[in-house]
Structure 1
Amino acid sequence: MARHTSETWAFSARTVLAAALAGALFATAPRAEPTLCPAPDPAAVAAISVDAPDPALVERICRVAQTAVEELAACNVVVARPVTIRINDDLPPGCVGQYHCGEGLIEVLSPEFLKERELYDSAFHQLDPKAYFDSIITHELTHAAYDNTFCPFGTCPVTAEFLAYSMQVRSLSEADRLRFLDGMPRTRVETPADLALVLMMAPGKFAQLAWEFYSRPGKGCDYVGKVMAGDVLLDFYLP
């Protein structure tokens, strides 16, 4: 869980004036256009753009995102529409990334902020910050892909999070996946309804149980393909 401390700042008249002038200049300055990531085969890879202040970070996110899109497609998760990935260190407490449904926009914390604030949810706390950041990109791109699948309830959070966490863990290196599994609970879910209860009552354990469910015989990428096609739904109607 993220913890943000409030700080009290004392401003002199001069610093207040300077801040006001800087704010006015910033408000009138146009926001830079996101950088379109180069794609070796534009017809095979969804258009990914990155909105980040550091060119080196833009290059890194482009590389991570393009690899993620290709690996997701190999597991029947197709990012079919253009997506913009924006660095935003003002996300709500406890949030490390979010996808804006219908907008093709992903917002994530910067790697530096993620490392300094130690914003790790319980399932991924053993990962190196770099590996964690990269996996968040995969998680949110999965949400972007599932955004194209029809949900009869308006929103299907259990199905969406099952896909996103399964693909996030799948994206880890073997060593990082073993670290993730070291903290895995010894319990398991028996039905999709059990997953729904875990998401509502113990979201910190959901990633691990989703991966356990995904890893069972008869599941894996074939099962994911059925979920992406809308043939399998893990949510159920609650009146």
Structure 2
Amino acid sequence: MPGPVRFAILPLILCAGIAHANGAACENGLVAVKDAPEALSARICAAADLAISLFAECGLSLAAPVEVSLRDSIDPPCFGLFHCGERRIELLTPEAMAEGLRGESVFAHVPPLRFFDSVVVHELAHALYDQVDCPFASCMATAEYMAYGYQIDSLTPQDRAPIAGAEGADEPVPRDMINPFIVMMAPDRFATAAWHHLQQREDVCAWRQGIMSGAILFDHENP
């Protein structure tokens, strides 16, 4: 992707080597965790394993290791931040995420630790899409489409049910709903629209593969 683009999952709206002296390498060989206690490192690795398995269902995979670091705060304020081109993710601690999650958020019903897991998946989906060459200054809408799609897929059936059964869920989602303006101004609306749009595709894997091939884009040169 061109430029120093960063992708974050916002609370107010919503390539290093694998081994590190102050970190722990996950057994999957694709994620290393820094600045996290042992139990939380294990949880991040388990969430990463889930992300990797979800990607593999459509024949997709991370091409290089990703480093994950825990933070008490992130600038700009967000739950998680993927640094494009750097294979690096910053995550808020579960406690900080719980404090920042708004009561009206589409994810408000998800228990804090399971929400934390889903953010790990969201940011690793950004790492996955970072392997695609974006032909524009930014491919925010397409990247967030992939990230929110995988984040919601990663939820338990119980946690996903309120999103799947939301009002209007049976109505076709128009393609123009997937745009960077809605990402920034109404991320919860974007998240649900993106996931429902994806579920309405005849072949979800073919659609995701099309995105990863660069054939499917929701962004434009002049949004």
TM-score (norm 2): 0.82
Does the Cα contact within 8 Å between 1:189 and 1:209 map onto a contact in 2?
yes
The aligned counterpart of 2:117 is 134
* Secondary structure, aligned partner of 1:98: strand
8 Å contact kept, 2:122–2:150? yes
Distance 1:185 1:34 in 2: 45
Give the RMSD, CA atoms, in angstroms.
Answer: 2.3
Distance in 1 separating the partners of 2:213 and 2:96: 36
In structure 1, runs of 5+ residues without a counterpart are 4-30
Q: Based on CA coordinates, which of the two structures has the bigger radius of gyration?
A: 1
In 2, Cα distance between equivalents of 1:140 and 1:156: 15
1:223 alignment partner in structure 2: 207
- Give the partner amino acid of 1:37: C
**Comparing both structures, which one devotes a greater share of its residues to helix?**
1
Deviations 1:172-229 (A, max 9, x none): 11111103334455565312x3311532442221000001100014241210011011
C-alpha contact 2:80 2:123 (8 A) present in aligned 1? yes
Q: Against the structure 1 CA distance between its residues 200 and 95, is the aligned structure 2 distance closer, same or farther, given a 3 Å change threshold? A: closer
1:51 to 27, 34, 40: 34
Q: TM-score, normalised by structure 1?
A: 0.77
The alignment partner of 1:238 has SS state of coil
1:58-104 Cα offsets, whole Å, 9 max, x none, are 11111221222122221344211110111011113641001001111
For the structure 1 residues 182 and 156, does the alpha-carbon distance in structure 2 shift closer, same or farther, using more than 3 Å as the test? same
- Given that 2:43 and 2:117 are in contact with CA atoms closer than 8 Å, whether structure 1 keeps it comes out as no
> Aligned residues, how many?
204
Question: Does structure 2 conserve the Cα–Cα contact (< 8 Å) formed by 1:122 and 1:205?
Answer: no
Overall identity of the aligned pairs, in %: 35
Unaligned runs of 5+ in 2: 1-9, 13-19
Q: Alignment partner for residue 82 of structure 1, among 56, 65, 69?
A: 65
